[in-house]
């Protein structure tokens, strides 16, 4: 059994990790930390876990994290970078769900996250945990930077086109919408029910922290810099991301076949039949990414433009499910182990 610990188990990604790991056939939960909730039984805060998780939240400094095989950080940005080194040095493998180790250019990270990086030496060691791209490196990684939710959807949607060199890499457009759980569990006015319900709004148009992460990943695949317009929106739903991606064709191909072939062996990427319209409900609470490729008709003004539709659950494939998928790869388990839950409808 893999002994697992979670640092920061009270947020949405933390409880999602608990839900998934409690059902994993080869994982034993050893510790869940929370300074504020120390001593509180996990099931008292999350009754959905009654009978499945018997642990109480523990003080981070006193939790048996060094006795774990793997520790997940489900913490705000800036926490893991101060605590991961001691665990890595102790031989514990670390999966960080925050943004602390995602961006390789430390100065760029500091500019976007507005704090000094506490462990720049670990950034170079960290493997970016987009399984469909970095599976080989993830197997031997000591520290995995779990991708963000928007970056997962956008990169998976553009990936086959960028790999094939079939689109204009200087003019990629990502128009993405997320449910309110993507902003975390902190009480903020714009996330109140009366504010978010019956409403739809863009944000971060002048710059969003996930933009450099997406550009970094696509540039690595392309072998050159890329141009990207990324506009996120807050949608009046609890879970889910819907990304509508646009790219101008520079080399003709059978794009449906291109996507099907690229993802044929991927357990969690579903390329839907031509003409399909994936919706967020089709991936709710599951570790799936569904993709549909559209080409405007020849009579349309922009027949040279591809439209790619991508949906994921922001808390699962966009966060905790992908983290468990990374753990499975790191420990040589079947990649789908503990992640075979079907989407929830309605």
Selection from 324, 222, 245 nearest residue 291 by Cα = 245
CA distances from 42 to 5, 32, 175, 181 (A): 13, 8, 37, 20
Q: Which residues are catalytic?
A: 149
The pair of structure tokens assigned to 220 is 């690595």
Q: Torsion angle of alpha carbons 233, 234, 235, 237, nearest 10°?
A: 140
Residue 22 to residue 84: CA distance in whole angstroms: 23
Q: Torsion angle of alpha carbons 216, 265, 95, 123, nearest 10°?
A: -30
Residue 177 contacts residue 238 (beta carbons within 8 Å): no
The secondary structure of 18-84 as a DSSP string is HHHHHT-TTEEEEEEE-STTTT-BHHHH-GGGTTT---B-B-TTTS-GGG-SEEEE---TTSHHHHH
Residue 201 to residue 313: CA distance in whole angstroms: 19
Residue 296 to residue 294: CA distance in whole angstroms: 7
């Amino acid at each position: 059994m893999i002994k697992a610990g979670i640092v920061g188990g009270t947020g949405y990604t933390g409880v999602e990790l608990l839900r998934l790991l409690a059902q994993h056939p080869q994982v034993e939960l050893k510790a869940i930390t929370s300074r504020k909730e120390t001593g509180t039984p996990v099931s008292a805060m999350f009754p959905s876990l009654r009978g499945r998780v018997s642990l109480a939240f523990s003080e981070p400094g006193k939790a048996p994290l060094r006795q774990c095989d793997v520790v997940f950080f489900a913490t705000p940005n800036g926490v893991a970078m101060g605590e991961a080194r001691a665990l890595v040095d102790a031989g514990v493998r670390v999966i960080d769900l925050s943004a602390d180790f995602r961006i390789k250019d430390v100065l760029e990270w500091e500019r976007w996250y507005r704090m000094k990086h506490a462990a720049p030496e670990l950034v170079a060691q960290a493997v970016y945990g987009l399984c469909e791209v970095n599976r080989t490196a993830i197997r031997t990684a000591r520290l995995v930077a779990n991708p963000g939710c928007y970056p997962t959807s956008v990169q998976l949607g553009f990936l086959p086109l960028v790999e094939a060199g079939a689109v204009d890499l200087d003019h990629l457009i990502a128009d993405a919408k997320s449910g309110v759980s993507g902003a975390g569990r902190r009480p903020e006015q714009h996330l109140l029910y009366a504010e978010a319900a019956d409403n739809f709004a863009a944000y971060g148009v002048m710059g969003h922290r996930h933009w450099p992460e997406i550009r970094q990943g696509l540039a690595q695949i392309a072998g050159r810099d890329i141009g990207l317009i990324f506009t996120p929106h807050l949608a009046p739903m609890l879970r889910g991301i819907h990304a509508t991606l646009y790219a101008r064709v520079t080399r003709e191909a059978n794009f449906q076949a291109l996507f099907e072939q690229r993802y044929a062996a991927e357990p969690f990427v579903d390329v839907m039949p031509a003409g399909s319209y994936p919706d967020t409900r089709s991936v709710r609470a599951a570790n799936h990414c569904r993709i549909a490729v559209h080409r405007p008709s020849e009579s349309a003004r922009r027949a040279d433009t591809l439209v790619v539709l991508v949906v994921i659950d922001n808390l699962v494939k966009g966060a905790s499910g992908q983290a468990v998928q990374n753990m499975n790869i790191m420990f040589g388990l079947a990649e789908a182990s503990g992640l075979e839950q079907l989407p929830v409808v309605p």
